Amino acid sequence: MSAAAPADESLRVLIADDDLSVRALIRTILACEGMRPIEAPDGVAALAILAAGYVDLALLDLRMPGLTGEQVLATASDLAPDVPILILTGEDRGRGTFGLRLGAHDYIAKPFDPRELVARIHAAARVRAALQAGSARRQMLARELTLMERAALTDELTGLANRRFLRRALDAAAQRARCEPEPYSVILLDIDHFKYVNDRHGHHVGDSVLQRVGLELARALRADDVPGRWGGDELLAVLPATGAEAALAAVRRVKHGLRDAPLPVPITTTIGVATGREPGEAVLRAADEALLQGKRDGRDCVRVAPERH
């Protein structure tokens, strides 16, 4: 792509939102302005479109299935550094400002004024033109480096955050908890007797189980939460600005989702939950201790660590 779109070339705008009615509204607004909307119904599709370089600018909803808006943004800010991303958020402006800290160019609250949306898009397009003032070689090297970064932050099997990204999320949640009234929570999930699943049914079945459990974990969480694979058969979720009661509600949603999920073999899970304001390692260690207690108690249960202050 050139440093700036020619005058006779329509601005290509990604609309990443799982709400069909919202995409239809924005599509109409952009088409009336002579822009070319490209739609994505979930985070995985949005990231693929950004990676392919199909768009000049992106409108990204934080609440999407698969990869959350935060996960897409964290990767896309490196993968497509010349593509300004505008966060679409509800009336909770805190989520929008959290998106800015993750690298978004701007945010706009729903419901939005069409004129304001168009104005913000044009402003972001001007920023894009300035950001693309580098040489072709620099852009090529940046793309190669950011593709490596994407691989370094995403678990290949589940498509969720990997251990490296989860550590960043833990640090960010702990820092946020020092400035806000709510603590943060950590959910550590272990698939019971997972080695038996692999040994009895094969690793392809074990992989399918992990993928499905990861999907149900992601579905049970909010837009701000970060689900990922901690390692082996352990999945971890970081819940910023979340107290113990809300964290347990999320765990119940996970358990309920797994009961109804089309798993290739029956499984159970043991879950440890910890809430606090301490650094990430301390709260994570508390969740791990709660998980170990659940295993000692016979597995297929949830154990909650005492809240850490």
Q: Where are the domains of the chain?
A: 12-153, 163-304
pLDDT at 241 over 90: yes
Look at residue 154 in the predicted model and tell me its pLDDT: 84
pLDDT band at residue 89, thresholds of 50, 70 and 90?
confident
Residue 90 confidence (pLDDT) above 80: no
Tell me if 12-153 shares its fold with 163-304.
no
CATH fold group of domain 12-153: Rossmann fold (3.40.50)
For position 138, what pLDDT does the model report?
Answer: 58
- Please tell me the predicted confidence (pLDDT) of residue 173: 93
What pLDDT score was predicted for residue 52? 87
User: Of the ranges 47-61, 226-240, 262-276, 281-295, which one carries the lowest mean pLDDT score?
Assistant: 47-61
The pLDDT of residue 149 is 63
Choice between 193 and 10, residue whose per-residue pLDDT is larger: 193
pLDDT tens for each residue of 138-147: 566 556 666 6
- DSSP notation for the chain: --SS--TTSPPEEEEE-S-HHHHHHHHHHHHHTT-EEEEESSHHHHHHHHHHT--SEEEEES--SSS-HHHHHHHHHHHSTTS-EEEEE-S-HHHHHHHHHTT-SEEEESS--HHHHHHHHHHHHHHHHHHT-S-HHHHHHHHHHHHHHHHHHB-TTTSSB-HHHHHHHHHHHHHHHTTSSS-EEEEEEEETTHHHHHHHH-HHHHHHHHHHHHHHHHHHS-TT-EEEEEETTEEEEEETT--HHHHHHHHHHHHHHHHHS--SS---EEEEEEEESS-HHHHHHHHHHHHHHHHHTTSSSEEEPPPB-
Mean pLDDT, rounded, of the chain:
85
Instruction: Using the predicted structure, report yes or no on whether residue 269 has a pLDDT greater than 80.
Output: yes
Among 3-7, 116-120, 267-271, 273-277, whose mean pLDDT is lowest?
Answer: 3-7
pLDDT in tens, 288-307: 999 999 999 999 999 999 88
pLDDT at position 5 is 38
pLDDT digits (tens, 9 = 90+) for 40-86: 998 889 888 988 888 999 998 887 887 877 788 878 767 777 788 88
**Does the model's pTM come out above 0.85?**
no
Q: In CATH, which superfamily holds the domain spanning 163-304?
A: Reverse transcriptase/Diguanylate cyclase domain (3.30.70.270)
